[in-house]
Amino acid sequence: MNKLRIFKADLIIKDRPPMKIYFIDLENRQFIVY
């Protein structure tokens, strides 16, 4: 069984508004940025 791992991190980029990044690791690694 493959476990779903979700990592939530808040990033502060210079000259940019705060961003929330979600890392979803499954069989196929996916990178989603909100």
pLDDT at 28: 61
pLDDT at 1: 42
Domain-wise residue ranges, the chain: 1-34
pTM higher than 0.75: no
- Per-residue model confidence as pLDDT tens digits over 1-34: 455 555 555 555 667 666 666 666 556 666 655 5
Question: 9-26 burial string, b = 16+ CB within 10 Å, else e?
Answer: eeeeeeeeeeeeeeeeee
